[in-house]
């Protein structure tokens, strides 16, 4: 178990899937957790209950669109004012609108850029000042295996995730002198609500691409994020940690 005693974490896209698993993992280490979500109130309340039961001394929901700069700034400001600081930021919120390039609509391209890439930018920008002031913090961005290897039908999604890697490395260089670390986790095919809806034949084809011959779990990703967020990774910054079963090496 990782130790987050006395630390405050903000996790975006935390109502379900990987984001929920990350929030729970941080709570197990006794972090106070703010769970961001976009609109699914029922899922968010369920996640909040699980985080509280996992051991978070304080936990609350924060409903806002990460694509809105002002909302991101307000969320960080409220967290710092209410709980005295922000020590861990996990940029997990993301959307995928799969479509071949020739059929991809401008609005779908722009929305994925807004949420997946600009959302992380807005929150990192807002979190940088309080983290620099307290001379410490950890930011973990959720990129993807397709951000490194690409994927047909996911030009926009892949572009946002590749951009997130560049953003991670650049900001890691900017903030290192104030002991603020910035890293990324790149999941492969993970067993979530999205993949659960796929036909069995499609899942079997996915597994053929994975040397470990299975889909990953949300908990696999959560533990990697928790490591990078923790003091155990105090000498790790600008890194991309792949959690993909060997799919891309």
Q: Which residues are catalytic?
A: 157
**Nearest-10 Cα torsion for 2, 35, 123, 224:** 30
How many residues would you count in the chain? 249
Q: Mind giving me the DSSP string for 126-166?
A: HHHHHHHHTT-EEEEEE--THHHH--TTBHHHHHHHHHHHH
Phi–psi pair at 237, nearest 5 degrees:
-150, 150
Please, are residues 48 and 127 in contact by the beta-carbon 8 Å criterion? no
User: Quick one: which of 94, 232, 231, 78 has its CA closest to 164?
Assistant: 94
Please, are residues 157 and 144 in contact by the beta-carbon 8 Å criterion? yes
Please, are residues 4 and 31 in contact by the beta-carbon 8 Å criterion? yes
User: Quick one: which of 111, 179, 120 has its CA closest to 144?
Assistant: 120
Q: Which residues contact 241 (CB under 8 A, 6 or more apart)?
A: 183, 184, 185, 186, 224, 227, 228
Please, are residues 168 and 241 in contact by the beta-carbon 8 Å criterion? no
């Amino acid at each position: 178990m990782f130790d987050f005693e006395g630390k405050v974490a903000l996790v975006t896209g935390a109502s379900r899937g990987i984001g929920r698993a990350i929030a729970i993992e941080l709570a197990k280490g006794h972090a106070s957790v703010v769970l961001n979500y976009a609109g699914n109130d029922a899922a968010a309340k369920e996640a909040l209950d699980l985080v509280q039961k996992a051991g978070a001394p304080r936990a609350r929901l924060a409903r806002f669109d990460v694509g809105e700069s002002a909302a991101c700034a307000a969320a960080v400001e409220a967290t710092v004012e209410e709980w005295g600081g922000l020590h861990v930021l996990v940029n997990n919120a993301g959307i995928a609108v799969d479509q071949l390039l020739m059929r991809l609509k401008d609005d779908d391209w722009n929305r994925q850029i807004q949420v997946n890439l600009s959302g992380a930018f807005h929150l990192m920008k807002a979190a940088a000042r309080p983290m620099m002031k307290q001379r410490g913090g950890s930011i973990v961005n959720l990129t993807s295996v397709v951000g490194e290897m690409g994927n047909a039908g996911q030009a926009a999604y892949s572009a946002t995730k590749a951009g997130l890697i560049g953003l991670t490395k650049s900001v890691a260089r900017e903030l290192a002198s104030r002991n603020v670390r910035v890293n990324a986790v790149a999941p492969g095919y993970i067993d979530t609500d999205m993949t659960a809806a796929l036909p069995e034949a499609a899942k079997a084809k996915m597994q053929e691409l994975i040397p470990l011959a299975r889909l990953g779990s949300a908990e696999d990703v959560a533990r990697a994020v928790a490591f990078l967020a923790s003091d155990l990774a105090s000498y790790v910054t600008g890194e991309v940690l792949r959690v993909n079963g060997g799919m891309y090496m």
